[in-house]
Structure 1
């Protein structure tokens, strides 16, 4: 018996149809951290990581923030809840191992019976999720995909510990991915360095996030520019053709060193870390959404996304802005 299975129709490409972000209202300055008892000062924090302030969620959960960001992305895209059939949540700060948060998030948005799953690639998670969404659309397995990066890192950080308490913060960003007659989301360049997985971990006993800052700094500044250049080449671009560069907002010195190595002097570089801190998988969509809100890049412009973090995982991808 000769049986042939059919496949769904496949669009030529995928694109981001809309973006949205949400940050909690409580602003914490460096002086606020000192008043709380952190052994630091404003000048030290700015010189080491470039952060002036960050947002902390007080009564909101990771899901609450994801819902807020997703609602804005859906409104900006013009895609309603009834038209979304897959939800992907990138997070490393879910409150429990089981269940994941994507199904609950979808339910709260009024999305009926979508495919739903979480991705944990830490600070690279949004790019991993975005590529998964793009592949689902271009394979014909989903019509419209909601991608959310949401983190409540203050649940897992010792806020009095200088190495992490000054860096991490809370927030969410989201994108809606739809079919397109042309390619609006380029090929992903991704990978991992498990030999250095010890550099960012969660303590098994206390569930507190720990990181080896110098190890991560050296790794990111020596590797991530090449990942970005490879992503540009995979998309058929030279780096000087980019309109924007949105790296994971880990550290301002890391961002500036990677941007310099890209050799794209006219590119608009996202430096949202100054006012938002490090929000892990939420940092790229938050920064990208703000970049578009401010009109810093035009619609249809090529922007390079580069995520990197715990694992150590990384991913680079060029997108065209909605």
Structure 2
């Protein structure tokens, strides 16, 4: 589809998919050799969703994308690009985005995966914004979809009770005014081994304490930079939607913004850590509960394996 540069972009529709199976803390704790109280106190999760056999990364992505497209309605136009943020495909080839595009009938769309783990959706949203502003595309589907339960051991207390499955999607389209503001992002590959897939076990391993220290000490400036690039102070925001890693991390980041009236997403309490899907799932949940409204400025912030991070202010669709 021919396109031309535009002044800005916006999210025209949001969609989400949460697997059917709900796993309680009691069930997760039994496998991990801890107590349910240990999980809720240390992490903040009370229950999580685990995908069934048919709920693949692609299938969940398609379900979320269909909802986003339906909400956008006529604004959807055509989809030129499908971006799938995921780190949990069962194999590196074929990519998941092409399969998603095929199922959706976007047969001519460019389609590729973005693996920035837990910051993947925010990275993909920034790419979508740039593609449309440059005139390369007119409609970009940005999807975060994960089956983290395929990559963690339920016996590992550091990962098994925490990570979960799900998907969420956003349709990004041109706008006369910017509604997705410039991203503040980066990485620290010198610490990439803190979250990695073990060659020995084939499972994800995480050094939780060091990740906690990095997140709570190094990333406050990133969030403030994103606000500055949007021309806002943290106090001007309606909501803060960080990656749903750990309630203690979420609270520490919220406090560093020094904006006590911020609505702060805590989706992990009922959804667990869904990696690249966590930020859009949390935004979708806030909107479903009426805690944010169309046009509200919201700070999205993804961070995790890599170590990578990305933050941007968006106006809620």
Short-chain TM bin: over 0.9
**Displacement, 1:51?**
0.4
- 1:315 pairs with 2:310: yes
**Displacement, 1:77?**
1.2
**Displacement, 1:237?**
0.3
Question: Matches of residues 16-55 of structure 1 in structure 2 within 5 Å?
Answer: 16-35=11-30, 37-55=31-49
**Displacement, 1:278?**
0.3
Q: Distance in 1 between matches of 2:136 and 2:41?
A: 47
1:201 aligned residue (190, 196, 204) = 196
Superimposed CA distance per residue, residues 141-169 of structure 1 (whole angstroms, 9 cap, x where no aligned partner): 10110000000001110011111101000
Is the 2:46–2:270 contact (alpha carbons within 8 Å) kept by the matching residues of 1?
yes
Q: Distance in 1 between matches of 2:68 and 2:313?
A: 19
| Aligned position for 2:265 | 270
Superimposed CA distance per residue, residues 55-98 of structure 1 (whole angstroms, 9 cap, x where no aligned partner): 00021111111111111111111158761111000000011111
2:125 aligned residue (130, 137, 155) = 130
| Aligned position for 1:156 | 151
- 1:12 pairs with 2:1: no
**Displacement, 1:204?**
1.8
Stretches of structure 1 lacking an aligned partner (at least 5 in a row): 1-6
SS at 2:284's partner residue? helix
Question: Matches of residues 190-229 of structure 1 in structure 2 within 5 Å?
Answer: 190-229=185-224
Q: Distance in 1 between matches of 2:97 and 2:34?
A: 37
SS at 2:4's partner residue? coil
| Aligned position for 2:288 | 293
SS at 1:92's partner residue? coil
Task: Count the aligned residue pairs.
Answer: 315
**Displacement, 1:225?**
2.0
- 1:57 pairs with 2:51: yes
Moved over 6 A (4+): none
Max Rg structure: 1
Stretch of structure 1 that moved more, 7-16 or 50-59: 7-16
Stretches of structure 2 lacking an aligned partner (at least 5 in a row): none
**Displacement, 1:8?**
5.2
1:88 aligned residue (75, 83, 102) = 83
Q: Distance in 1 between matches of 2:209 and 2:68?
A: 36
Superimposed CA distance per residue, residues 2-44 of structure 1 (whole angstroms, 9 cap, x where no aligned partner): xxxxx95211100011111111010001101234x32111111
**Displacement, 1:110?**
1.4
- 1:105 pairs with 2:100: yes
Is the 1:202–1:209 contact (alpha carbons within 8 Å) kept by the matching residues of 2?
yes
Is the 2:16–2:281 contact (alpha carbons within 8 Å) kept by the matching residues of 1?
yes
| Aligned position for 1:116 | 111
| Aligned position for 2:161 | 166
Q: Calculate the TM-score normalised by the size of structure 1.
A: 0.95
Stretch of structure 1 that moved more, 178-187 or 37-46: 37-46
CA gap of 1:81–1:98, structure 2 versus 1, over 3 A, is farther
Q: Distance in 2 between matches of 1:226 and 1:82?
A: 37
SS at 1:124's partner residue? helix
Is the 2:3–2:137 contact (alpha carbons within 8 Å) kept by the matching residues of 1?
no
